[in-house]
Structure 1
């Protein structure tokens, strides 16, 4: 990885994790990417030049194997520069983490692929039929962020043998994860979302492709083939941390743009600058305070959870629940801040050609991820 600074663990804003010129490039080409429905070539080149998609892959396989607290902060910084970029990097780097559960020789081969990118979906919407020493896979999966540059696609499939669904001891269908070369995959251009347009999170289909058994894997500390603590860290806490950090980055970008938008507006009743009205100033202060408080707790739990796993411990049920709670509280604080400030930004913020509108659309699309449903009262 090109970042020269050591992975310091702290919870203040971290724009220094990105080179200033990288932030400029990401933001310069974001409008064109949004209009085209896919990341700009300059953005894609930057992803590969910085090695971001290898950040969670095992070092022994050619990855960076960054400590999770550093990787999450980096993902937040990328999302703050541009939401679609942050989302693609986070989802595809997260899929790269799966290399830590593959046979080491295969992991080295795949991570060594030129411009490697693992795209994919987690829903078990296909079948894998046992055939010889491998599986024949058929199905259709949705929401593969980064699909146009995927060199491999991850998926979950229900196992079958001789046409019968295989079941576990509790009678539930057995599900296995697979990593399939892109040559066996047929992408379908289905992504028509209001936001995160440049993620090109398309669907994909596989029609009876056979893969060797080594391309299937299970995620868990007991099944990891890479030795580092990153691969003993549980999947769901890792997912909550990485996804929620993206929302924090997008919300910070929105507030930055909202300040600029409000600074140009006047109160229609008094003629005073809107940004100088005490009620408006209080709303900005409250929005930033609420996010800062939730973010501090979020990163404290992340750092504590990582330290525990790095020292050989494991997250128990209570710790896992705490991670989920802190992550969703951060997302909710970000939702509240964005929704409260948006009405003050004027019609400029309603134009899909404006930066603030794009960030608003990206943010609200990202909040619809199935793991980010608000906590029930």
Structure 2
């Protein structure tokens, strides 16, 4: 059922986020008031199980909130999405460990999905665990993370363990922040305040309980949220962020275009039929793609809520609608930008910050056409 009963973001919260967005961009991390809002509203726990202290929001509600925050500040929307997404992994941890983590003060989970490290088997029986070594990139929200998630290649006696197909076995882990060294590395032109730095771990031992498998069959929490396929969840949450940033860009583009005149036709640019038609066309195309995206998401969520597993076709529909929304967003931003003037190229302007954020976020590998 469409989630239309209430706005996903309160107006006063949107004003707080917007008020500090430029300062956060300059400082290259979220402003303390933005951070406080993330914690006060419980947004970083919104996908964690209720049994462990999370909100366990229905996925369509969480996605709409992520889009709404990204439509105010792309960096904050991204940190919310990636860190709340890491919090979702609590539904696959041993319940006691999940309660200890999610119930912690100002908890924030960050991390990376690339398997760029190793987990060596170390110990037997009750003392069984893993010694983790490696470096992982792009941990959004790293400065406030209390825990980091990661993927690592399993090894024994220095040799990778192989699966049935002969490929290295990969396992997900959760590690407390005090065992992690953040490596300042985030120097992108956009999404500056996401502070998506690298992190490294050098031979740190963790118990076997800190390893987990991300699949509906391995969920330790009840509820449809943990039966929703991981990649489908990733597609819809990332696409919603990009869509929110594109909406913000179009909102700012209209007054930018309205202040300009066509040099050869000597008339306001918005009165040039081709320009006016282009603006309306991009706004409509984006709205249509967004409507279809939420139709597919809401239908898919209803199936999972009713204990009906998503089929390959269902998951393909989620991916296709996500990528179609990203494509409509790219077309809107890229085709309208040339009409916005040099103001849009000024680093300190709001529309330039949104443009930079959009073109950084949309580089995510899952969002390739």
Question: Which TM-score tier does this pair reach, normalised by the shorter chain?
Answer: over 0.9
Match of residue 112, structure 1, among 98, 103, 111? 103
Match of residue 271, structure 2, among 268, 271, 276? 276
Return the offset for 1:276: 2.1
Return the offset for 1:355: 0.2
* Superimposed CA distance per residue, residues 159-189 of structure 1 (whole angstroms, 9 cap, x where no aligned partner): 0011111011111100000000000000000
Q: For 1:94-243, list aligned pairs within 5 A.
A: 94-132=85-123, 133-243=128-238
* Superimposed CA distance per residue, residues 22-67 of structure 1 (whole angstroms, 9 cap, x where no aligned partner): 1111111111111111111111111111111001000010000000
Return the offset for 1:269: 2.1
Determine if contact 1:32/1:40 at 8 Å carries over to the other structure. yes
Number of residue pairs matched by the alignment: 365
- Root mean square deviation of aligned Cα: 1.2
Answering whether residue 246 of structure 2 is matched by residue 251 of structure 1, we say: yes
Q: For 1:58-77, list aligned pairs within 5 A.
A: 58-77=49-68
Partner of 2:43: 52
Answering whether residue 5 of structure 2 is matched by residue 9 of structure 1, we say: no
Q: For 1:306-325, list aligned pairs within 5 A.
A: 306-325=301-320
Return the offset for 1:95: 0.3
Answering whether residue 68 of structure 2 is matched by residue 82 of structure 1, we say: no
Determine if contact 1:10/1:299 at 8 Å carries over to the other structure. no
Partner of 2:363: 368
Partner of 1:332: 327
Determine if contact 1:134/1:212 at 8 Å carries over to the other structure. yes
Match of residue 261, structure 2, among 256, 266, 271? 266
Determine if contact 2:2/2:295 at 8 Å carries over to the other structure. no
Distance 1:44 1:72 in 2: 19
Return the offset for 1:10: 4.4
Determine if contact 2:63/2:240 at 8 Å carries over to the other structure. yes
Distance 2:68 2:225 in 1: 20
**Structure 1 residue ranges, 4+ long, deviating more than 4 angstroms after superposition:** none
Q: Structure 1 residues 303, 278: CA separation in 2 closer, same or farther (over 3 Å shift)? A: same
Distance 1:149 1:124 in 2: 22
Partner of 2:82: 91
Determine if contact 1:84/1:198 at 8 Å carries over to the other structure. yes
Determine if contact 1:11/1:296 at 8 Å carries over to the other structure. no
* Superimposed CA distance per residue, residues 279-313 of structure 1 (whole angstroms, 9 cap, x where no aligned partner): 11101111011111111111111011111111011
Distance 2:13 2:319 in 1: 31
Distance 1:206 1:268 in 2: 58
TM-score (norm 1): 0.95
Partner of 1:28: 19
Distance 2:26 2:148 in 1: 25
Q: Give unpaired runs (5+ residues) of structure 1.
A: 1-7
Partner of 1:5: none
Indicate the SS of the match to 1:81: coil
Answering whether residue 33 of structure 2 is matched by residue 42 of structure 1, we say: yes
Determine if contact 1:147/1:200 at 8 Å carries over to the other structure. yes
Distance 1:10 1:275 in 2: 34
Return the offset for 1:11: 7.2
Determine if contact 2:8/2:61 at 8 Å carries over to the other structure. no
Partner of 1:289: 284
Q: Give unpaired runs (5+ residues) of structure 2.
A: none
Distance 1:21 1:260 in 2: 23
Determine if contact 1:9/1:70 at 8 Å carries over to the other structure. no
Q: Which stretch shows the higher mean deviation, 133-142 or 266-275?
A: 266-275
